[in-house]
């Protein structure tokens, strides 16, 4: 019975189905805000659903000749599965902080790598030069943001008394102040915000897909169902990233009364920050991104760690 409960929570709520719907809605918010920034009207709220349903049901799925079809089709599914697992874990630990569902913060950090990994392997498997190029950019980008990302992750861990369980991180913040309410917390929050910008593949760090240069990179050979599943994986990840940050910096999502409104506002704040960064910056080159993440951002995250040592 317990297993069936797990499978239900993974597939339906709060896992795949729920997170996909939320992710597509978040995608609509993204498109709408972007449109407003650019003085356009923007699409209706159901536009993303229509797009995905079209891909999943109506468009044909093309297989590039001479590739390992198993790998080619496995990767979108793997990306969606691992993204759903991340969202299931994150929402479960926020709903029941004491339960300790499946994994801790280290596990989630590693599971969040998997969609990128699947994207890269999918790109590699499609035997297209543009896909290989894009996937190698994705890998280099991952290398670059991973260093400041880990360093900024250290601050919430330190602030919550060296805990890695989400339950402890949440309850410790409620007992002795939110991570964001400290100098080190603020610095590491902004560093992590830029890192997740790259993790989500948003401009200015979308050089892996770079439509105008390498024609969507790893996605170039994907079409139909496989592309639709990749899009869903991406939507789920975009939906869950702000929740990951709320858990680490704002003491998790509060489901009771007015607290829920605050949590939603925090969510919208993080999301809109990401969208605004996306809309006010041009795409950077990969070596510029690496220099940016290993240079100033790593320096800032080290400052945050040192401040956290001194208790600020």
Partner 1 sequence: MAQDIILYSVFVPIAAGIFCFFLPDRMKILAKTAAIFITLLSLAAAIYLFIKKPAYWPNEIRALFIVDNLSSFIGIGISVFALLVTVYSMGFQEKAFGRFFAYLLMTLGGALGAAYANHLVILIVFWGFLAVTLYLMVNMEATAAAAAAAKKALIIIAGTDALMILGVGIIWNLTETFLMDRIQLPLTSFYSFMAFITIAIASFAKAGAMPFHSWLPDVAEDGPTPVTAYLPASLDKLLGIYLLARASMSMFIMNDASNMILLVVGSATIVLAVIFALIQHDLKRLLGYHAVSQVGYMVLGIGTGTAIGMAGGLFHMINHAIYKSCLFLTSGVVEKRAGTTDLSRLGGLAKLMPITFTCFLVAALSISGIPPFNGFVSKWMVYQGIIESASAKNYLWVIWLVSAMFGSALTVASFMKLLHAVFLGRPSKDFTKVKDAGLFMAFTVVILASACIIFGVFAFVIPLPILIIPAVNRAIAYIGIWAPAVATLLITAGIIIGFLAYLFLRPQSFRTVPVFEGGEDNTEFARVSGVEFYNTIKEINPLGAIYAKEEAKSFDIYYIAKRLIYSFTRYLQKIHNGVLPSYLVWCLMGMVVMFLILFLVY
If the CB atoms of residues 16 and 189 are measured against partner 1, the closer one turns out to be: 16
Tell me how many residues contact partner 1 (CB under 8 A).
Answer: 90
Pick the piece of the chain touching partner 1 (CB under 8 A) from 20-28, 37-45, 117-125, 196-204.
Answer: 117-125
If the CB atoms of residues 29 and 63 are measured against partner 1, the closer one turns out to be: 63
Is the CA virtual torsion 153, 154, 157, 163 positive or negative? Answer: positive
Contact 217, 292 (CB under 8 A): no
139 binds partner 1 (CB under 8 A): yes
140 binds partner 1 (CB under 8 A): yes
Binding to partner 1 (CB under 8 A) within 177-206 occurs at: none
Nearest to 226 by CA among 82, 86, 70: 70
Give Cα separations from 163 to 156, 172, 240, 304 (angstroms). 9, 9, 21, 18
Side-chain-side CA neighbours of 16 within 13 Å: the count stands at: 16
Closest approach, Cβ 122 to partner 1, in A, equals 9
Closest approach, Cβ 54 to partner 1, in A, equals 12
If the CB atoms of residues 202 and 230 are measured against partner 1, the closer one turns out to be: 230
The Cα–Cα gap between 306 and 312 comes to 9
163 binds partner 1 (CB under 8 A): yes
110 binds partner 1 (CB under 8 A): yes
135 binds partner 1 (CB under 8 A): yes
6 binds partner 1 (CB under 8 A): yes
Instruction: Pick the binder of partner 1 from 100, 178, 183, 279 (CB under 8 A).
Output: 100
Instruction: Pick the binder of partner 1 from 143, 261, 268, 269 (CB under 8 A).
Output: 143
* HEC letters along 198-248: HHCCCCCCCCCCCHHHHCCHHHCCCCHHHHHHHHHHHHHHHHHHHHHHHHH
């Amino acid at each position: 019975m317990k297993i069936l409960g797990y499978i239900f929570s993974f597939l339906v709520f709060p896992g795949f189905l729920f997170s996909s719907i939320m992710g597509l809605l978040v995608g609509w918010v993204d498109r709408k805000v972007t449109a407003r920034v650019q003085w356009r009207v923007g699409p209706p709220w159901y536009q993303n659903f229509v797009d995905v349903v079209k891909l999943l049901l109506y468009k044909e799925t093309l297989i590039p000749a001479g590739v390992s079809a198993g790998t080619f089709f496995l990767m979108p599914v793997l990306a969606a599965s691992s993204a759903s697992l991340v969202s299931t874990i994150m929402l479960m630990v926020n709903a029941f902080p004491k339960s300790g569902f499946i994994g801790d913060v280290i596990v989630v950090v590693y599971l969040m790598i998997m969609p990128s990994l699947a994207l890269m392997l999918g790109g590699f498997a499609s035997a297209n030069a543009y896909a290989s190029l894009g996937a190698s950019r994705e890998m280099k980008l991952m290398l670059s943001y991973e260093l400041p990302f880990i360093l900024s992750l250290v601050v919430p861990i330190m602030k919550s008394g060296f805990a890695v369980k989400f339950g402890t991180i949440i309850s410790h913040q409620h007992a002795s102040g939110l991570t964001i309410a400290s100098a080190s917390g603020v610095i590491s929050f902004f560093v992590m915000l830029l890192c997740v910008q790259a993790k989500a593949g948003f401009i200015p760090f979308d050089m892996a897909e770079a439509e105008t240069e390498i024609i969507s990179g790893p996605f170039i050979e994907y079409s139909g169902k496989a592309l639709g599943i990749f899009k869903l994986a991406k939507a789920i990840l975009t939906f869950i990233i702000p929740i990951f940050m709320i858990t680490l910096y704002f003491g998790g999502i509060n489901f009771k009364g007015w607290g829920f409104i605050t949590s939603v506002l925090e969510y919208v704040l993080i999301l809109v920050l990401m969208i605004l960064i996306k809309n006010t910056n041009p795409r950077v080159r990969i070596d510029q991104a690496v220099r940016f993440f290993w240079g100033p951002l790593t320096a800032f995250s080290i400052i945050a760690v040192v401040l956290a040592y001194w208790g600020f």
